[in-house]
Amino acid sequence: METEVLTRQSGFFISAITTVSLAALSIEFISNYKLSFFPFSFIIVLYLAGLYLRNRFWRKAWRKDRNMLFRYSAVIILILGIALLSVFIYFGSIQEIVYKLGSYAFNPYLLVIAAIWTAYSALELYMINGISSLSKYKNANYLAMAAIVLVDLSFLTINHFVYILPISLLLLSVSTLVSSIRLKTIY
């Protein structure tokens, strides 16, 4: 039984690890303005694994409840997740010179990434609230909303405070772990 629960939650755990990895990479980038692309290959594999496992979770939720929102959302989250990764990889591939992190504030590609990510996260939070107790996890909702807003703000204000990106990613990681705990008792 515990193995089944861990398998269902593994997509959220992997996503949290991916987010912590991105936070660590952004701290390294801030400290020496050099960026190694080797860790990105590791992060991309984790990201895709987490995305796939989360998609499986929502499909299973649909099979259990027959709520069409879960079925459509599983597909939409997969599409948005792949779109987010595609824009990020394209953005990274066109960078001939790596600038200080603060130079990327208001970058159109990062704003597109933020918009896709916000839609992705808001949809998933809505679905989690649809199957998890709102009263018991009220503070978890505030944590998730704060993570969504802070990640978006980090792309806008990074030229004033570069550490907002790793802080927001760490908060997002905690929020993702809390989401997996919320869903433990459901399916």
Q: What is the pLDDT of residue 96?
A: 72
Chain segment 27-66, per-residue pLDDT in tens = 877 777 666 666 678 888 888 998 898 888 888 878 877 7
- What is the percentage of the chain residues whose pLDDT exceeds 70? 88
- Tens of pLDDT, residue by residue over 104-152, are 778 888 889 888 888 888 888 888 877 766 667 777 878 888 888 888 8
Does residue 7 surpass a pLDDT of 70?
A: no
Give the pLDDT of residue 1. Answer: 47
How far are the Cα atoms of 12, 63, 108 from residue 56, in angstroms, in the given order? 11, 11, 32
Q: How many CB atoms lie within 10 A of CB 12?
A: 25
Residue 79 has a pLDDT of 92
Torsion of the alpha carbons at 84, 157, 167 and 28, rounded to the nearest 10:
80
CA distance 59 to 66: 10
Return the pLDDT at 55. Answer: 85
The answer on pLDDT for 86 being more than 90 is yes
Return phi, psi of residue 89, to 5°: -65, -40
Q: What is the pLDDT of residue 12?
A: 82
Model-level pTM?
Answer: 0.81
Query: What is the pLDDT of the chain when averaged over all its residues?
Result: 81
Q: Please say whether the beta carbons of 77 and 123 come within 8 A.
A: yes
